């Protein structure tokens, strides 16, 4: 299939160029990782945190899922992939920052908005996952902003930050100053990153 062949061609370019240029870094990373930053972002193919932040291997511990969501802390039934990654990032790698990055035209957020229509609801797993922002969605729709999609994308970042703070080990480390939480939203067409000021609740371009 041509798509997979294109991936292999990219691998060969990596081996010939980037790998050789960063050989010393890869040799060091063989011994382990100690990234200072964890990024929680959407799995959308247009929003690659390594590209947005221009990072190198070993610099960022990344968790990607639908709509960059963090569930609230809980230990009951089911599997907890997102929570396990967060636990490992904070307790295992001792990251100093967690950055939640939302983005424009998010398909998961679109699905959450469509859930407000009882006639929709075709996605078993996505609909259940997007229930994390159901209250935020209802609040956004009640406010009736000009662009509810963008409004909910930004509110979802705030929801994830609030949910991160329900993890006892995050709450403790943030209180001690060992860990800082950040929110951001990426506009795809603009190529612009807006950073959340939690005091004002506004997203603005960084200086």
Q: What tens digit of pLDDT does each residue of 18-30 get?
A: 999 999 999 999 9
Shared domain check, 88 and 21: no
CATH of the domain at 144: 3.40.1050.10
Given pLDDT bands bounded at 50, 70 and 90, which one contains residue 121?
Answer: low
Shared domain check, 12 and 106: no
Shared domain check, 22 and 117: no
Report the Cα 103 to chain-centroid distance in Å: 9
Shared domain check, 27 and 71: no
pLDDT at 74: 95
Given pLDDT bands bounded at 50, 70 and 90, which one contains residue 120?
Answer: low
Calculate what percentage of the chain has a pLDDT beyond 90: 91
pLDDT at 184: 98
pTM: 0.94
pLDDT at 159: 98
Shared domain check, 5 and 93: no
Shared domain check, 94 and 179: yes
Per the rule left: phi > 0, alpha: psi between -120 and 50, beta: everything else, 78 is left
Parent domain of 19: 1-32
Average pLDDT, whole number, for the chain?
A: 95
Shared domain check, 46 and 15: no
pLDDT at 66: 97
Shared domain check, 27 and 107: no
What residues pair up with 46 in beta bridges, in sequence order?
A: none
Shared domain check, 95 and 169: yes
Shared domain check, 93 and 2: no
Residue-wise pLDDT for 171-202, tens only, equals 999 999 999 999 999 999 999 999 999 999 99
Given pLDDT bands bounded at 50, 70 and 90, which one contains residue 112?
Answer: very high
Q: What's the 3-state SS for 3-59? A: HHHHHHHHHHHHHHCHHHHCHHHHHHHCCCCCCCEEEEEECCCCCCHHHHCCCCCCC
pLDDT at position 1 over 80? no
pLDDT at 51: 97
Residue-wise pLDDT for 57-75, tens only, equals 999 999 999 999 999 999 9
Shared domain check, 89 and 10: no
Shared domain check, 37 and 25: no
Give the count of domains, the chain: 2
Q: Record the tokens describing residue 109, joined without a space.
A: 């957020």
Q: Record the tokens describing residue 166, joined without a space.
A: 């329900």
pLDDT at position 78 over 90? no
Q: What's the 3-state SS for 66-134? A: HHHCCCCCCCCCCCCHHHHHHHHHHHHCCCCEEEEEEECCCHHHHHHHHCCCCCCCCCHHHHHHHHHHH
φ, ψ of residue 103 to 5 degrees: the values are: -160, 165
């Amino acid at each position: 299939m041509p798509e997979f062949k294109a991936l292999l061609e990219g691998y060969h370019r990596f081996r010939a160029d980037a790998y050789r240029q960063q050989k010393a870094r890869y040799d060091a990373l063989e011994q382990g990782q100690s990234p200072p930053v964890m990024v929680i972002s959407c799995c959308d193919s247009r929003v690659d945190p390594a590209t947005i932040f221009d990072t190198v291997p070993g610099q960022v511990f990344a968790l990607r899922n639908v709509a960059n969501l963090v569930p609230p802390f809980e230990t009951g039934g089911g599997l907890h992939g997102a929570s396990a990654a967060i636990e490992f990032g904070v307790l295992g790698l001792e990251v100093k920052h967690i950055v939640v990055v939302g983005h424009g035209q998010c398909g998961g957020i679109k699905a959450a908005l469509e859930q407000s229509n009882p006639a929709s609801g075709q996605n078993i797993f996505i609909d259940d996952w997007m229930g994390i922002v159901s209250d935020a969605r209802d609040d956004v729709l009640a406010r009736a902003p000009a662009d509810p999609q963008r409004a909910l994308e930004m509110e979802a970042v705030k929801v994830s930050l609030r949910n991160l703070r329900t993890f006892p080990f995050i709450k403790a480390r943030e209180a001690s100053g060992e860990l800082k939480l950040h929110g951001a939203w990426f506009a795809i067409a603009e190529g612009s990153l807006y950073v959340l000021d939690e005091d004002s609740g506004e997203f603005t371009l960084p200086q």
